Chain A
Amino acid sequence: MPSSRSTIGDFSILPISIPPLSSYPKPATHHLYLRRNAPKIPTPDDPRSLFIINVPADSTHLHFRALFTALLGAGRFESVTFEDDRKTASQALTDLLPAQAARLASHASKKRKREDEEAQHAREEETARLPEPWSRPLRRSGGSAVVVLADERSIEKALKAVGKAARSGRYPVWGAGVPEQNRTLGSSWVKAHVRLTYPDKAAVEAAVDAFFTVYNRREKEAAELAKRLRNEPDEDGFVTVTRGGGRTAPAKREEAEEARRKMVEKADKKREELSNFYRFQMRERKKEEQAELVKKFEEDRRRVDAMREKRGKFRPES
């Protein structure tokens, strides 16, 4: 067994030394765990990307560029995508769809849109995005990231360099090569957040406008799609049943509510007229009442028993 481990599971361990700060003047070590990226849904970049977990909470693009420059030399690092980035990017798309469009799009997904059209839509969606309120979002502690390097050979070299660094004990230093003001966050980061919380009104307005452009287009597309689907049988010969569009639904719902209320009222009235009419009803009612009383008594009994189980409930305090 080596004095210091270089792997855990199928991950290589990269210790990183953390320089001390005046508020916590103690050197510390952070551990990154890396392996070749192998996601469930493969992408063309996979062979030249690394999957990294336990990224530090203050990680940025700059930090990783500096880190890989230290390991491999300049020019090998291409990009880094953090866990949180990936989520928000994918989420935004589906949520922006109007309700109908979302449902119908799943039916029609077999049809590929043309690529240029898609690219244009992506651009539009980008403009519809609201400004971020954080200049430097924090990463969840223990979170993951995917680093893309220049080529497949760099991956080999990177993993080798990681092993060497771990064995030699000469760990790369976190934040080395990163501009001084980006090493810590602190008050300028908080201030920037306050400022970013209040973005330019015009910019927000533009984003909202862009959003509604997309939204309206999507809605129209959806309506058209619905219309088309109503007429066209799909490849199995079925015709999809869709709602007729427009805003009839809420009104109908109200009507239905009203009708239900009336029905309940009517039933109530009828019941009232007939209750206490027959002798057996009264007798039954009384029996029920008595049963209710007995039940209540039993409940009380049980509650007191439960209280007794807890010590001190029946001992006057001193």
Chain B
Amino acid sequence: MAVNPAKRRKLDGEASLDQAISVAVRQPTTFVLETDELLKESRLDYEKSFEGVDDSLRRIKTSIESIEPHEPVPIADAAKKLKKAHKIRVPFPEPAPPKDSNYKLSYAKPEQFNVVGSYVSKTMVKTQEDRTVDMIIVLPREVLQEKDYLNMRYYYKRAYYAAQIAAALQKEFEGTANFAFECLNDNPLLPVVAVTTKKMSTKKSKRINEEDPTANAQPQAEFKIRVIPCAPDGYFPKQKITAAAGLIRSGGDEDKKTVHPPTPFYNSTLKAEASFVSYLRVLKQAEKTCASFKDACMLGRIWLQQRGFGGSVSRGGFGHFEWSVLMALLLQTGGRKDTAALSPSLNSTQLFKATIQYLAAMDFSKKPFILGQAKEAPDAIRESGPVVYDAIRQLNIAFKMSASSADMLHQYAKWTHSLLNEKSADQFTPTFITKVDQPSLMYDLNASLELPEAFDDSSHDSRGKLASFCNKVHSVLKRALGNRAQLVSVGTVALPSWSITEHPAKPVESRVSIHVIFDPVNASRQVDHGPPAEEKKEAEKFQRFWGEKSELRRFKDGSILETLIWSSTTPADLCEEIMRYILPLHLKITANSVGLTFYGRGFSSLVTSSQSDTAAFSAARAAFEAFEQDVRGLEDIPLHVRQIAPICAELRNATVNPPTFGSAKSAPRPMDVVIFFEASGKWPENIAAIQRAKIAFLLKIGSLLEEAKRDVTTHLGLEDAQSELENLAFLDVIYESGAAFRLRIHSDLEEVLLDRRTKDKSLDQHIRTESATLLANFRRLYTHLPLHTTMFKTYTTRFPALSPTIRLLKRWFDAHKLTSHFPPDLLELFALHVFLQPHPWPQPSSATTGFLRTLLFLSRWDWRSEPLTIDTSSQSNPTPDTDNQLSTPLDPAAASTRLQAWRNLDPAMNRVVLLAVTQSDPAGTAHTTLAGHPAPGKVVAARMTALARSAIRVVREKGVEIGAPDAGKQLLFVPALADFDMRIVLDRKALKAASRVWEGEDPEADADEGVVARKFKNLDARTGAMPLPVGVHPAALLVEQLSRVYSGPLVFFRGAEDDVVIGGVWNPLVQRRSFRVNLLGSYKPVAADGDSEMKDGGESEGSDGEDDVVEVNREGIIAEIARIGGDLIERIEVKGQ
């Protein structure tokens, strides 16, 4: 077909335009807009925050310049002199120079002053912890010698220089500023002078206050200036201080060819000292070439800060400086064939994403990461720790990082990277807003370990004893835990600063903290297999590492392997057992000494998650399958069975206590199931008649089952139905083993009829509303709950930590007496949400993290304006990139629109409070409403949020301590009983008695049931007979009835079944009102009777209009409750009495 070429061209042009637009817009715009907003919010007002800083810097400069130079004097004399004159102790790094050392120190005017760091580049953010201006002072060449790189000489000179500066500044700033020495980036070699302004230029601020009174409220701008002495650019011969060189040489014979152990940290510090200015140039260059470089740096700073990363050694050694240098270098090099990896035309989010991708792809600790063309031999670059090597400046940028922090950074980047690739998730909040490094929320196991006295730092590097101990612990644990752990991190606290007149401070805590994230797949392994015995070398290595624990075993498949057998059962216990074994073995600490403390099992006493529980759940499952077989095996059922679906929490591994049966003492607890038949035209076309037909059906199934199976008894039970249109009956099937099932029948015609009744416009509004409620109940029971159960059966298998998380969460709701208001399936969805949207963390791998993160979610969830969306589509499809079209992800926008519509329709939230949208229920109300009422109601949902918030606050405050034995239980699981207006304390004994009822037991109550007693002679005798099944616990039954009676004035709160205290709160909205018929609740006339207080009488006398006012008769209602509860209630406590 010939197409007119001119027209074709036009079409092509159009296409390219179209493409350009779509490329520009295809970027996830929300994320870009959000980051823009974040940047706008975070930008610091430098004028205000650093008011007067230039002035101070100038004064610092002039005062340093005016220091009197002096000729070389021996080191001890110089230090003494300084002490005498200014009381300043020279902060010599360890080991301090010997007294009789013949090194000489001199002082001369600095070569150069420069302000560096994020103050210059204006990349600070509002939320950063300290606002610091870094000023470097380049040591003049006169005071240095080339050989100073050896044996700490340079560092001694630098320390002396810093002390001189401190002396000068102290004189200049007398009383207006605080002075301290601190270690730059926790590097013990580099003491610097920190000047903290006290009250800057009071005169000036006064004047401002007069002009602008609002400024009065503003606190004085407070900032810190660090005065950092450093070496001249490129002063030291770089080829002599490569990573492999050993520069701390004991014995003094420097020229002899003895091999000195390498001191990479010492060397890199030295190189970094001489490259401040060149990196400043690199950054300036990047700022100039790439417009959005600064913004990307700020994003990087926020990202790192939220993850607890910083430039100092104790914070991982990868901070804003390293981030921006890495990015600047990637703008020049790092790509294929030494081209630039990043393009300067990228915008800030793209730069950020690309850098994250880089960090996610590179594992520094495994393989040195070289930027640019390295001229040196690989040996000169490689070191034991992580390496990011800048080839041009020949420096390992990551020299402050440890293997542990490099691992952690790598993991963080990987998690963020995967989040940024996930289109349906909220990318912004987890990336920048959430505080990620909260140990109790992030790690499955936290421990701390005392630095043993006996530990001997075998390396000659100058990281410090604690840091090398850290590294050792990390390498031992990493090897010992292997693939049990996704991440092992070992860290210390920061080095403190010290007053300039004192000795350098020792680390406040000589403890290292150990954190582990489990790999849920492997963490519960009890047997570790080592190499086979034939591989001598490997086997020997294995034995050497594991010591006596390693034993040879022969396995079923004939292999003979080195094996480790552990005795614990849960992941946390296993991990603890291994650590308690391996750390003493390698680190010379005693096994159960106080040195090793674990914070991992604070919650384990609340919910057991051992294998026996798993077994109990599978036993329940097996019993259900047997039951299904039995029903399917029946021959004479009029309709063919299509499906029998479980709908109860026991059969989806989600109850607090695992299902138990077989104990004759307690009544059987039936598990709910529904049965579906083939579609049939035989159902009568009338809802009431369908309900009756179901009863006949159930009776038939019951008698058939009893006939077919000897060990089965069945009971037909009546629902507490309010109308003939509801489901009227169920069949309890009880096996002799104790397993019991509650069967309900599904009829497809019922749904059709209800639907038709709901939509029939000719019917009364109240009939249609009633039908809509019935239809919702129907769908919940027969559609949503079976699907929900199947879904959770799958997910509890896929995520081993999900089931214990749900159980712990339900325990929490129990403890706070919220359970009675929440459908169990909704709580399960809360927990699942945290597993499906775990960002910024990986999926929880233990009950504790899962539980705490669920609380975090609940504390943050603004359910007034956000629906809960459970999107399972990305999970069912493990590779989201390949074929996203196949699964239909939930549309979060549609869910929000729906919630918005509900809020417009029902602003008081009387019908819908929470909205939980799932794949199977896009309407979002199946799990949040029960029988037409919101479950939970608004008041209860608000209480849930408040409780979750305070729980999270406690978790934040306590840190790892929350995991200490009993701490978590005491802090999070004790209800605030004082909050309740009324506490109903039930009688345990009476409850227990009431939960066991035998057929035809109580003659007096049985007067109308005499027929029953006579008919079932065999069940008459209580001996041997099983009590009647208990579907609803008596306490729950009582609360249910009371809630129904007092739906207006009172809200009841009930927790677990064994919790005997029921809370009650008076509805604050239902207090006084004018009298009319059909008030909800019992009212008394105000000032009508003798007991009423005179005060009230006065009020009603005052105005005639209030004549008909009545108020809630609280005492009357409480007395009524006492009568209804009878012997079940031990006492009722009323607030304030």
CA of A131 to CA of B34, assembled, Å? 63
Q: Which residues of A contact B724 (CB under 8 A)?
A: 91-92, 95-96
A3 to B1030, CA, bound (A): 52
Q: Is the CB of A53 within 8 A of B1077?
A: yes
Q: Does A119 contact B (CB under 8 A)?
A: no
Could you tell me if A133 and B718 are in contact, using CB atoms closer than 8 angstroms? yes
Could you say which residues of chain B place their CB within 8 Å of the CB of A99?
Answer: 685-686
Contacts of A204 in B (CB 8 A): 695, 699, 716, 718, 729
A314 to B35, CA, bound (A): 9
Please measure, in the bound complex, the distance between the C-alpha atom of A30 and the C-alpha atom of B126, giving whole angstroms: 62
A303 at the B interface (CB under 8 A): yes
Complex interface bits, A28-45 against B, C-beta within 8 A gives 1, otherwise 0: 111101000000000000
- Expressed in whole angstroms, the Cα–Cα distance for A202 and B1004 within the complex equals 22
CB-nearest residue of chain A relative to B1131? A23
A230 part of interface (Cβ distance < 8 Å): no
A141-B34 contact, Cβ under 8 Å, with A9-B1075, A91-B723, A316-B305:
no
Most A-side CB within 10 Å, residue of B728, B1108, B1128: B1128
| A130 sits at the interface (CB 8 A) | yes
Interface contact B1120-A186, CB-CB below 8 Å: no
Shortest CB distance B560–A (Å):
54
Considering the complex, give the chain A residue whose CB is closest to the CB of B429.
A313
Closest to A30 in B: B1116
Give, as a whole number of angstroms, the nearest-CB distance from B915 to chain A.
17
Q: Does B233 contact A (CB under 8 A)?
A: no
Q: Which of B11, B689, B702, B1115 contacts A28 (CB 8 A)?
A: B1115
Q: How far is the CB of B950 from chain A (nearest CB, A)?
A: 16
B999 at interface (Cβ–Cβ under 8 A)?
yes
Number of B residues whose C-beta is below 8 Å from A? 119
- B1038 touches which of A20, A190, A304 (Cβ 8 Å): A190
> Are B433 and A315 touching (Cβ within 8 A)?
yes
Q: Is the CB of A135 within 8 A of B689?
A: no
Q: Known contacts A138-B1041, A203-B1011, A286-B14; decide if A198 and B717 are in contact (CB<8 Å).
A: yes
User: Among B11, B699, B1128, which residue has its beta carbon within 8 angstroms of that of A187?
Assistant: B1128
- Chain B residues near A144: list those with CB within 8 A: 1077-1078
Which B residues lie within 8 Å of A293 (CB)? 21-22, 25
- Bound CA–CA A9/B1088 (angstroms): 13
Q: Within the complex, which residue of A15, A141, A296, A314 is in contact with B1120, where a contact is CB–CB below 8 Å?
A: A141
Contact across chains for A58 and B1124 when beta carbons are under 8 A apart: yes
With contact pairs A53-B1077, A138-B1044 given, residues A23 and B1116 touching in the complex (Cβ less than 8 Å): no
Encode B1036-1047 as 1/0 by CB contact (under 8 A) with A: 011001001111
Taking a contact as CB atoms under 8 Å apart, the answer to whether A95 and B1037 are in contact is no
B1045 touches A138 (CB 8 A): yes
B1045 & A26 in contact (Cβ 8 Å cutoff): no
- With an 8 A cutoff between CB atoms, is A184 at the interface? yes
User: Do B1081 and A314 touch across chains, with their CB atoms under 8 A apart?
Assistant: no
Q: Are B1125 and A194 in contact (CB under 8 A)?
A: no
Contacts of B1121 in A (CB 8 A): 24
- CB within 8 Å for A208 and B994 given contacts A8-B1110, A24-B1132, A303-B30: no
**By the criterion of a CB under 8 Å from any partner CB, how many residues of chain A are at the interface?**
99
Contacts of B1031 in A (CB 8 A): 197
A interface majority secondary structure: mixed
- Interfacial chain A residues near B253, Cβ < 8 Å: none
Specify the chain A residue showing the minimal Cβ separation from B1087: A5
Tell me if B1080 and A141 are in contact (CB < 8 A).
yes
Tell me which of B1009, B1034, B1048, B1090 contacts A4 (CB under 8 A). B1090
B1120 pairs with A57, CB closer than 8 A? yes
Chain A residues within 8 Å of B684, by CB: 98, 215
Q: Who on chain B is nearest to A249 by CB?
A: B685
B1018 to chain A, nearest CB (A): 14
In residues 1-28 of chain A, which contact B (Cβ within 8 Å)?
1, 3-5, 8-9, 11, 13, 15, 18, 20-24, 26, 28
Instruction: Flag whether A250 is at the interface (Cβ < 8 A).
Output: yes
Q: Is B1127 an interface residue (CB 8 A)?
A: yes
Judge whether A299 is part of the interface by a CB distance below 8 angstroms.
yes
Query: Nearest chain-A residue to B1080 (Cβ)?
Result: A142
Q: Is the CB of B1075 within 8 A of A141?
A: no
Report the nearest B residue to A181, measured CB to CB. B1004
Decide: A198 and B715 in contact? CB cutoff 8 A.
yes
Asked if A194 and B1030 make an inter-chain contact with CB atoms under 8 angstroms apart, the answer reads yes
Contact assessment for B1015 and A187 in the assembled complex, using a CB-CB cutoff below 8 Å: no
Considering the chains assembled together, what is the distance between the CA atoms of A166 and B725 in angstroms? 45
Chain A residue numbers with a CB within 8 Å of B664 are: none
- Is A242 in the interface zone, CB < 8 Å from B? no
Q: How far is the CA of A192 from the CA of B998 in the complex (A)?
A: 10
List, sorted by A's number, 16 A–B pairs whose CB atoms are closer than 8 Å: A8-B1075, A8-B1108, A24-B1119, A53-B1079, A57-B1045, A95-B725, A139-B1045, A183-B1123, A184-B1127, A191-B997, A195-B1002, A195-B1009, A198-B715, A198-B717, A215-B686, A247-B685
Give the B-binding residues of A (Cβ under 8 A). Answer: 1, 3-5, 8-9, 11, 13, 15, 18, 20-24, 26, 28-31, 33, 53-54, 56-58, 91-92, 95-99, 130-131, 133-135, 138-142, 144, 166, 169, 175, 181, 183-205, 208, 211-212, 215, 247, 250, 279, 283, 286, 289-290, 293, 296-297, 299-301, 303-304, 307-308, 310, 313-318
